[in-house]
Structure 1
Amino acid sequence: MRVFQKRDEGFTLVELMVVILIIGILVAIAIPVFNAARATAQERTCHANQRTIEGAVQQVVATGNIQPTAVTLPMILGDADIPGADPLRQEFIAQNPVCPTNNVEPYVLTNGQTTCPDATTPHGRFQ
């Protein structure tokens, strides 16, 4: 006949609670760091998009007989004619860049300078 011995295997409730507490502390530290990194990346992307648009403005000015203050987003995207420019070279950006925090509104182009369209977290102008 076989005699069964009681074996204590597994973890106690206290050990499991300590592990869960440690995981909770790590998550509490990681989430704010992740959110800060995400906000910084969105701001840098927004500024890069602004630089792209303003670079396209300079290309439009160099291509046609037009002042930077008269350039519009449709001219950059090839949706409007540029006075004095070759009709075959009218698209300077393939698609309109959008702010990563606001994927609906296009950038505002005023006097050859762009600004972020997002009113809730405005990234302003790049430096």
Structure 2
Amino acid sequence: MGTPRREDGFTLVELMVVVLIIGILVAIAIPVFNSVSNTARGRTCQSNQRLIEGAAQQYIAATGSLWGHAHRFNGNGSADTVDMLVPNYIKVAPKCPKSGLYFYVDEHGTVTGDTDTHAWTAGHGHF
């Protein structure tokens, strides 16, 4: 007879299988999480664009004009555009969920995305 074997705990092979299964689940979950995250950022961007465009349209209705040419709307507070809209038409300047920079607002109050500063995803940008 040999020495008795102890049978408590897990073998190295069992532990490796568990780690492998966890690794596979993580590898599947990360792309799904990134996709959901990008979709949420895109929808936030579209919502912010609508908010800015609505405020610009209200400004046009109240003053009769907006500005003579397109201006960059910067979520960090560029003075030429934001001062006209905040706080009377927008409570606070919205921040871009990706870069902090936002849109161009033309003389008609139409808002379009700034494709140079965004990693654009489906539904992110023009609307």
State the TM bucket, normalised to the shorter chain: 0.7 to 0.9
Aligned residues: 108
Counterpart Cα distance in 2 of 1:108 and 1:59: 17
The corresponding residue for 2:84 is: 75
Do 1:59 and 1:92's aligned partners in 2 also have CA atoms closer than 8 Å? yes
1:52-83: CA deviations, max 9, x gaps?
Answer: 0011112212322x1356594431125xxxxx
TM-score, structure 2 length as denominator? Answer: 0.73
1:99 alignment partner, SS class: coil
Q: Which amino acid aligns with 1:28?
A: A
Is residue 103 of structure 2 the alignment partner of residue 107 of structure 1? yes
Q: Give the share of equivalent positions with the same residue, in percent.
A: 48
- Post-superposition offset of 1:44: 0.5
- Structure 1: 5+ residue stretches without partners: 79-90
Counterpart Cα distance in 2 of 1:61 and 1:15: 69
Higher mean C-alpha displacement, 11-20 vs 52-61? 52-61
The corresponding residue for 2:90 is: 93
Could you say which structure has the greater relative contact order, defined with CA pairs below 8 angstroms and 6 or more residues apart? 2
Higher mean C-alpha displacement, 108-117 vs 12-21? 108-117
- Structure 2: 5+ residue stretches without partners: 70-80
Alignment RMSD (CA, Å): 2.2
Counterpart Cα distance in 1 of 2:29 and 2:90: 38
Larger radius of gyration: 1
Is residue 45 of structure 2 the alignment partner of residue 42 of structure 1? no
1:16-59: CA deviations, max 9, x gaps?
Answer: 01100100000000000000000110010000000000111122
TM-score, structure 1 length as denominator? Answer: 0.73
